[in-house]
Amino acid sequence: MDERQRHIRALAGEKRALILAHFYQTMDIQEVADVVGDSFELARQARQATHPLIVLCGVRFMAESAKLLNPDKTVLLPAPDAGCPMADMVTPDDVTALRAKHPDAAFLCYVNSSAAVKAACDVCCTSSSAVRVARALPHREIVFLPDQNLGHFVAAQVPEKRFHLYDGYCIVHHLVRAEDVRAARRAHPECLVLVHPECPPAVVALADFAGSTAEILRYVERREADGFLIGTEVGVVERLRATAPDKRVFLLKPSLLCRNMKKTTLADLAHALETGREAVEIDAALAQSARRTLDRMIALSL
Ligand code: SF4
């Protein structure tokens, strides 16, 4: 740890703060965090936190989820303009319009959505819990939003239910093409290809494994292979190089970088801890409805 990182750890101790960081954060942020995880793990950690202060190094919907799950705590988002373009693709009005079209369906929203959209839905999921949640729902019909690609991935594994998919997408994963997988395999024929289910179905179909960031990390750590081509955000490759230096890992495509996830800097984190800014606030009535969808996800995933 360098001096700035030691300063942050000292501040975290002084303020009794729990620092949570997503796997897509830069390595200097991951190194100072108490917990590094995917959306599901960060939500779980936020829910059980006993610290008075939670600092979420990620994007806004993650900080909102932490606040929803543990409303008595102060939750800070050190980079307040770090949003998720996919989450912004759907609004509560869109959900209302879809409810009129599909009155018997359960509304399953990806955690990458605003608190207002969660409040308008029935249950939430992360990429690691989506299949389990969809199977566990009593409904035979499901509207899945906002990610069309994760929706395809879930629908393929839960064929007994009828899915209606919203047309949102992740601006990073959606740009991976089947041709990118073929080109990467030509360059590294010895490697296994692992992709995130936010990639299009044609990409998932060509991969050796598709799973959440945490599942990809576990797969590489446990599996012997001559190399791995990673089709998700570059932060996962950087983490693997730090935690599993004996493994050969390559990024499937150079553009796999989420600019929003890279907005948090050590200076932002120190500033948040020093000043208590930016605290996430959610309207109480809306928070109650949105919390229900997250609690239901956790109950159905256990
Ligand atoms: S990687 Fe995609 S889904 Fe995740 S925060 Fe960035 S834009 Fe949103």
142-174 pLDDT per residue, tens? 999 999 999 999 999 999 999 999 999 999 999
CA of 104 to the centre of ligand 1 (A): 30
- Contact 84 CB / ligand 1 (< 6 Å): yes
H or E element at residue 118: helix 115-120
Confidence at residue 128, expressed as pLDDT on a 0 to 100 scale: 87
C-alpha span between 232 and 42 (Å, rounded): 18
192 lines ligand 1 (CB under 6 A): no
Give 90-135 pLDDT, tens digit per residue. Answer: 999 999 999 999 999 999 999 999 999 999 999 999 998 999 999 9
Could you give the CA distance from residue 52 to residue 71 in angstroms, rounded to a whole number?
A: 11
Those residues with Cβ within 8 angstroms of residue 265's Cβ, 6 or more apart along the chain or in another chain = 26, 29, 79
* Nearest ligand 1 atom to alpha carbon 173: 2
Using alpha carbons, list the distances in angstroms from residue 244 to 49, 148, 165, 224.
28, 32, 37, 12
Beta-strand ranges (E) seen in the chain are 17-22, 35-37, 53-57, 74-76, 106-110, 123-125, 141-145, 162-165, 192-195, 209-210, 228-231, 249-251
Structure confidence at residue 52 (pLDDT): 96
Q: Could you tell me the fold of the domain covering 87-169+286-301?
A: Rossmann fold (3.40.50)
- Ligand 1 centre distance from Cα of residue 93 (Å): 22
Residues of the chain under the 50 pLDDT cut: none
Say which CATH topology domain 3-83+262-282 has: Rossmann fold (3.40.50)
Please name the residue whose Cα sits nearest to atom 5 of ligand 1. 84
CATH number of 173-251: 3.40.50.10800
Give me ligand 1 centre to Cα 138, in Å: 30
Residue nearest to atom 6 of ligand 1 (CA): 258
- In the reported structure, the alpha carbon of residue 87 is separated from the centroid of ligand 1 by a whole-number distance in angstroms of 8
Under DSSP, is residue 21 helix (H, G, I), strand (E, B) or coil?
A: strand
Amino acid at 201: P
**pLDDT for residue 39:** 86
Q: Assess whether the C-beta atom of 279 lies below 6 angstroms from ligand 1.
A: no
**Number of C-alpha atoms within 13 angstroms, CB side, residue 49?**
30
**What is the spatial distance between Cα 227 and Cα 240, in angstroms, rounded to a whole number?**
12
Closest among 279, 217, 238 to 25, alpha carbons compared? 238
The predicted structure's pLDDT at residue 207: 98
Task: Specify the pLDDT at position 290.
Answer: 95
In the chain, list all ranges with CATH 3.40.50.10800: 3-83+262-282, 87-169+286-301, 173-251
Best of 86, 127, 237, 256 to mutate for ligand 1, by most ligand atoms within 8 A of CB?
86
